[in-house]
Structure 1
C-alpha cells in the first residue's frame, strides 16, 4: 500500500497532474556510450511552438533522481527537461578512469540529443548541475565551442567553482557570450576557497563573494587587480559580449554542499535565473514550489520499503517453504548482577568509540583512499562503497572480539548456550535462513521494479534512495558484499544472541537503545564536523568533507538495521537471517546509487 501510494503520488507531482510526459531514455550517444536519462516534455512543447530546454545533472556518487526539485519545478513552468545519469552513475555506462570528461561526462551528449528534438528551441538550451554536475557543465563549454554550432546559451553552476582562467593561468571570460549563474554554498565542504602560491588557504567558503575569483567572474573575466568596485551577490550583472547581452550572477547561500540539492531557496534562485535568461513558457513565482510533495511521496515509499524488510520475511514464515524457521528464540533469563550490566553498557560504549575512531582512521589510510578515489588501479569498481565496506568490516571484527570476551567472561559460566541463542543454529537452518533472506530481497526489489516501470519513480529521501538498477550491479555488489556481511552478521548476533540485559523491562526501549548505539558513532562525527564548520568556517583538519557527507545515509541505515534484526530474531531465533538480509539490501542500495569506474 505504501509503495502504491508513493508511486501514484510522486507521479502526479512530476507529471504536473498529467500535463508533463515522462520518458525513461537509454541511447547510444555521440561519444559511443550508453546514457540513461529521464525526459520531461510539457504539453506546451510542440513542433509548432518549440520550448526552451534544460539539461540537469546530479553530482559525483549520485544519480538522476537527485535532481527532483529542479526537474519538477522547471517542467511545471513549461521547459523541456532532461535529467541524466552521468556516465558511471545510475543506469548509464561505467566511466573509464582515463576519460572522466568524455562527452561532458554525458551532459554535452544530452544537449546534442535535445537539440535534435523537434519541440525544442535550439536557440534556448540551458544546462545546470550540482557539484560534479557543474563540472560537467564546465567540461561541456569547450566541446560546445569546438562544435562550430554552439548550442548552450545559459549555464547555472551549483556548488562548484566556475572557470576563472585560461590555460596560461590568466583571468579570462571562459564562457564567452553565454549567460552564467552560480549558486554557492557558504559552508561548502569542497569548493570556493582561495589559496596563496604555496597552497595555504586564505579564505573560507563563506567569504567567497569578496575573493578575486568571484569578482573576476562577476566582471566577465576581468583581472581582479584592475577592478575598482566590489560586485555583490544576488545581483544580475550584464555586459555586451560579441553583440550579445550576457548575464553573470552569484547566489551565495548559508548552507552546506549537499543541502543545495534539497533547498527551496536554491530552487527559487534556479527558477529566477532561468526565467531571466531563458524565459519560461508558463512562468510561475519562484516561491510556488511543489517538489516537496514528491519528496514526501518518495519518502513514504522508503518507509514502506523499510517495513517490507520485516513484513515480507514474516509473511514467508507462514509458507510451507519457510515455516520450519518460525521458531521463537529460547527464553533466556536476563543476567542479573553488576558484571553483566557493566559488560552491556561498556560494550555499547566501546562499540561507539570504535565506530567513530575507525571511520576517521580509514579516512586517513592511503591504501584505502587510493582505491576509494580511483587513484590506483584495482578490481573494485565502486570505490565509495568499498570505503564504507572496509569501515564496516573493522567494526564487525571488533564486535566479534567483544562477544568472544563476553562469552568467556561470564556468558558460559551463567549457562549461555550458543545453540539455544542462535549463534550455532545448525547448518540446515543457517542455509535455509539465507534462502529466506534472498527471497525477501527478490520480492522487495520486484516492488521497486513495478513502481519504476509504472510510474517512473523510486523510493528516496534526500541522499538515501532505493531504485531499480541494471543487471551489472549484481556483479558490483558481489565484490563488496563480504565486507558488509562481516559487519551486519556480527551486529545481528551481538544485539540479539548476546543481548541478555533488559532495560526498563520493555522490548521497545531495548531496541531503541541498540538502534541509537548503532548510529551514535556516525552521529558524533557529523555533529563535530558541522559544529566546527559553523564556528570556524573550516572543516576539522584531516577529516575531509566527503566522509561526513557519506555518513548521512549511514546513520539511518544502521538504526533501521538494528530494528530489523531485533524483529526478525524474535520471530526466528536465527540472527543470521537479518544479517544476510541487511547486508544484501544495503549493498544493492549502495552500488545502484554511486559511481562505477573502470580501468
Structure 2
C-alpha cells in the first residue's frame, strides 16, 4: 500500500473516531436528549463576563421549578471538568450551572477576582425562573470549593447545602468554617489527596479525620467519623465526611467521589428524582471524548502527511538524511541523560519562574510562565551539550552537515516559511475539527485532566507570547532526537523509532510520577512535595507523548525538524494556554 492511500485510510479512521466518540459523548451528556445543554454568559461584578454551561432537565419550567446546583471546577481547569458531576445531577432532575471561574476557560480574567466568580454565579442561578430558590446546592472541587464557600458567605440565605471535594474552608481567601457555616456541608476528601497539608493541615490525607480544623467545622473535639451525619439538616448544621480511595484529580474520575456528592445533595435537597447514587453513566461520556481525542490527534498525521505529499520536494522535504549521531554505550548514556535532565530541572526551574518572568500583559499566565522557564532552561542545557558533542565528535568530519541533524534550511527563508506554514495548516485542520465538534455536540477532545479545547479571543492573543519560546524548545528537541541520538546507518521502523523517542521524551516523567505517587498511595506525603506541579506532570505525559510521535513522524516525512517543531509548538501552546488560568488582566 502506498503512503498516499495509507494516509487517506488514517484520515477516514480519525474522522470516524472523532464523530463517533463525540456522538456518544453528546448522547450521555444530554441523557439521550432529555437534558438541554446550553452555554451561557452573564455579567458579574465590575462588568466581568462569566461563562457557564447550563444543564436543564426537561421537567424544569417556570411552572415547575426544579432544584438547582452550582458546580465549580478547581484551579487551572474549566467548566467541562465538572461534566461528570453535572451529568449525574441533571439526570436526577437538578438544574445545573457549571461555570468557568474568573480567569479560567472563557470567563474574564484575572483569576481569583470577584470571589472566584462564585457570588455572581449563584445570583445568576437564582435568577432563573425554572430553578427552585428554596432548593439550591453548591458543589466545588479544590479551588471550586473555595468558590462556593465564598458564594455562600456572600448569600447566606441563597443555598441549602454544599459539597466540597478535595477542598476546605478557611484556605486561600475562603471564609473560615464553623459548626454552622457553611450550611449542611459534606466534605469529600479522598484517601490519597495530594493537598492535605494545604487544605486541612495534616501531613497526609489518611490523617484528615484528626485535623483540628476539620473537627472545628464538624463541631467535635475528637476524630471525625467517616459516614456519620453530624448536626441537623433542618437546622442547617448537618455534616458528613467521605474519603473515597482516589487522588485529588481522581475526584473527577471516581464513581465513589461523584456518588458521595450525589448522595449528599439528594439527602439535603428536595424535589429531585431519587436515582440511586451508584447508578452513574458519566464515564460513557468520558469514553466518548477520549475516543474523539484519539481521533483528533490521529488526524494530524494524514493532514500534514497529505500536504507534504503534494509539496515540492526541495521546498518542504528532502531525501532522508544519513544518521551521524551517537552509537553504542555512549548513545544509551546520552539517552538516559536526555530523559533525566527535564525531570531534574522540572521543579527547580518552575520554582524560580516568578523571579524570571513576572506576570504582565505579555506573559499573563503564571503556570505557563513556569512552563516557559522550564522549556527555555532545557533548551539552553540541551543546545550546549549538543554543541559540545558535535565539536568533540563530528566537527572534523567533512561528511557531516546540518542536514544530518535535520537542521538544514534548503533554500533558506523560503524553506523555513513553507515548513512553518505547513505545520500551522496541519494544526489548523485539528482546530477546525474541534470547532465542528463543539458546534454539533457541545463537547471537546479530552480525557480526565487533559483536554484540547477551543481558545477564546483573549487566549489567541496570549498564545503569541508563548509560541516562540516553545518553538525554540521543539527545534532543539528535534535536533537531539533525530541528530545526536539517531545512530549512523539507522534501520529502525517508524514504530520502533516512535517508541524509542517516547521513552526519551516521556520516560523521565513516568519515573517522576512513580517517585511521587507510590509513597502517596501507601499513605505517605508526596516525597518531593509540589502537589500542583506533580498533577501538572500527568498532563505532561499526555502532551509530550503526542510531541514524541509528531516529531518522529514528520522528521521521517520531511528529513528536517521544522514541520514537526512547528506542529508541536502550535499544538502545545494551544493546549496549555486554553487549559490554565490567566492571572493578569488582558
1:275-290 → structure 2 map (5 Å cutoff): 275-279=266-270, 281-290=272-281
1:249-268 → structure 2 map (5 Å cutoff): 249-268=240-259
Residue ranges of structure 1 left out of the alignment (5+ in a row): 196-200
Shift of 1:172: 3.5
The structure 2 residue matched to 1:234, chosen from 211, 219, 227, is 227
CA contact (8 A) 2:354 2:369 kept: no
1:152-191 → structure 2 map (5 Å cutoff): 152-163=159-170, 172-173=178-179, 175=181, 178-191=183-196
CA contact (8 A) 1:187 1:534 kept: yes
CA contact (8 A) 1:492 1:562 kept: no
- Tell me, in whole angstroms, the C-alpha distance in 1 between the residues paired with 2:294 and 2:495: 19
The structure 1 residue matched to 2:408, chosen from 416, 420, 424, is 424
> What secondary structure is seen at the aligned counterpart in 2 of 1:35?
strand
CA contact (8 A) 1:51 1:281 kept: yes
CA contact (8 A) 2:76 2:581 kept: yes
- Tell me, in whole angstroms, the C-alpha distance in 2 between the residues paired with 1:20 and 1:565: 42
CA contact (8 A) 1:88 1:596 kept: yes
- Tell me, in whole angstroms, the C-alpha distance in 1 between the residues paired with 2:270 and 2:314: 65
| 1:301-359 Cα distance to aligned partner (Å, 9 max, x none) | 11112112222111222446x66655353352677xxx632332222111122112111
- Tell me, in whole angstroms, the C-alpha distance in 2 between the residues paired with 1:17 and 1:392: 44
| 1:399-434 Cα distance to aligned partner (Å, 9 max, x none) | 222332333333342722323653112322111100
CA contact (8 A) 2:73 2:141 kept: yes
Say what the alpha-carbon RMSD is for the aligned residues.
2.6
CA contact (8 A) 1:516 1:559 kept: no
Q: Does 1:592 align with 2:578?
A: yes
Shift of 1:535: 4.2
> What secondary structure is seen at the aligned counterpart in 2 of 1:56?
strand
Q: Does 1:47 align with 2:55?
A: no
The count of aligned residue pairs is 565
The residue number in structure 1 matching 2:540 is: 554
The residue number in structure 2 matching 1:531 is: 518
> What secondary structure is seen at the aligned counterpart in 1 of 2:570?
helix
- Tell me, in whole angstroms, the C-alpha distance in 2 between the residues paired with 1:344 and 1:57: 49
Higher helix share: 2
TM-score under structure 2 length normalisation: 0.90
The residue number in structure 2 matching 1:461 is: 447
| 1:60-91 Cα distance to aligned partner (Å, 9 max, x none) | 11101111210111111111011101110001
- Tell me, in whole angstroms, the C-alpha distance in 2 between the residues paired with 1:168 and 1:273: 22
Residue ranges of structure 2 left out of the alignment (5+ in a row): 1-14
CA contact (8 A) 1:489 1:575 kept: yes
> What secondary structure is seen at the aligned counterpart in 1 of 2:137?
strand
Q: Does 1:394 align with 2:377?
A: yes
Q: Does 1:330 align with 2:323?
A: no
> What secondary structure is seen at the aligned counterpart in 1 of 2:555?
helix
- Tell me, in whole angstroms, the C-alpha distance in 1 between the residues paired with 2:477 and 2:347: 20
| 1:456-475 Cα distance to aligned partner (Å, 9 max, x none) | 10000111101112111122
The residue number in structure 2 matching 1:79 is: 94
Shift of 1:450: 1.2
The residue number in structure 1 matching 2:289 is: 298
Task: Indicate the larger mover: 44-53 or 322-331.
Answer: 322-331
- Tell me, in whole angstroms, the C-alpha distance in 2 between the residues paired with 1:592 and 1:194: 27
TM-score under structure 1 length normalisation: 0.88
Shift of 1:6: 2.4
Task: Indicate the larger mover: 581-590 or 506-515.
Answer: 506-515
